[in-house]
Structure 1
């Protein structure tokens, strides 16, 4: 005959005092990914011209990013828009011009190529570059290391509290992951400013010098909540 399980006692009992502790860990690690955002713009007096220019400039930006090969881990095209601008005066809905926008994002793992690519993108006509933002991969081993350290910290604290009462930890009742975070949203290397350049071959004779971008270290935090029972202390 199976012995029924002991009833759950969330507050503990005199024979099995409950000890509730937290374990925390903070790591400072190097980023694994640099993400940049590229916005390409076109403008024309008719929709067809604006769309053609946008298609050409988008292809130029994509080809430039793809030319860096394995340095670029991922590239994606985001929102596309073609918007008419109405004339400010006159009767009726007379369209003065069309504005086209397309947004790209690229993730780089080779930070030595980052400054050069960012500068070359920003040197394209009517192109805006934001970033970089520094990230860890979702499956980065740094996340696991932070969680393990948080668990070890919880166990250490439990033994310290039990020792202060002249007793020992008996059993683990519950372990809860209360969150692993990469700190606040990574700050842009440009301090949230934007590189905007609209240079043509007639305006510049030589390519600009590549930006020197230093990776920003990431503060990774993990926290667990643990409950233990203790051997009843003699108070």
Structure 2
């Protein structure tokens, strides 16, 4: 009974069935698909109930504003909430001087024109801080698949060039190991050129502030594979 040579060859290859191991890499750039902003709503007062009422009112105003943009807002989430008493530093007894309240909100948008207008309007609200935007691709973006395909093509091309240099040709693929493909800067606060911070600590101006002109940051997608091939005996 005969057996295919590629299935019986030793893991390290043989003179009759040599193996070639290569690495394929791809680093591609794509326009971002989504942007995320963080919003911190604050309130402060000498009375706990008053601080909570102010925080609730401002939080509702922020949520209503974001929701008013409809479909471009793909995700809206409330994160941490806190109400913290501030004690006096002098005197015999501990007394509460004031209360500080905060609510953290995140919003994810796909329309970047809307993003510029929304961030300006949010920053114009009372005691509201805006952080971001952080640009990204969606987890299921076709960009990731394109990078993986390019990495495989490069691995095949590199292996073929090695075989050609020996007067041989590739005969079979033995192994293909995916080492991953991911965006280099997904929602990274420290990404160069990827963040914008604004703060507003006054009442909204009588006239709306002009929308920010935001330039989306290109996203780098990286893929890497290891590949092993068998090839015909070289001509030495």
Query: Is TM (by shorter chain) over 0.5?
Result: yes
Distance 1:95 1:123, change over 3 A: same
Distance 1:232 1:192, change over 3 A: same
1:124-148 deviation per Cα after TM superposition (whole angstroms, max 9, x unaligned): 0100001111110001111111111
Q: Gaps spanning 5+ residues in structure 2: where?
A: none
What does residue 22 of structure 1 align with? 23
Residues 72-221 of structure 1: pairs in structure 2 closer than 5 A: 72-185=73-186, 192-201=195-204, 204-221=205-222
2:212 is the counterpart of 1:232: no
TM-score between the two structures when normalised by the length of structure 2: 0.91
Deviation at 1:14, TM superposition (A): 2.2
Contact 1:132–1:189 under 8 Å retained in 2: no
Q: Gaps spanning 5+ residues in structure 1: where?
A: none
Q: Partners of 1:102 and 1:67 in 2: how far apart?
A: 19
Q: Secondary structure at the match of 1:207?
A: coil
Deviation at 1:7, TM superposition (A): 6.3
Contact 1:131–1:188 under 8 Å retained in 2: no
TM-score between the two structures when normalised by the length of structure 1: 0.91
Aligned-residue CA RMSD in angstroms? 2.3
Q: Secondary structure at the match of 2:168?
A: coil
Contact 2:44–2:99 under 8 Å retained in 1: yes
Distance 1:135 1:26, change over 3 A: same
Deviation at 1:193, TM superposition (A): 5.0
Contact 2:35–2:112 under 8 Å retained in 1: yes
Deviation at 1:84, TM superposition (A): 1.2
Deviation at 1:191, TM superposition (A): 6.1
Q: Partners of 1:197 and 1:9 in 2: how far apart?
A: 68
2:71 is the counterpart of 1:70: yes
Paired residues, what number?
233
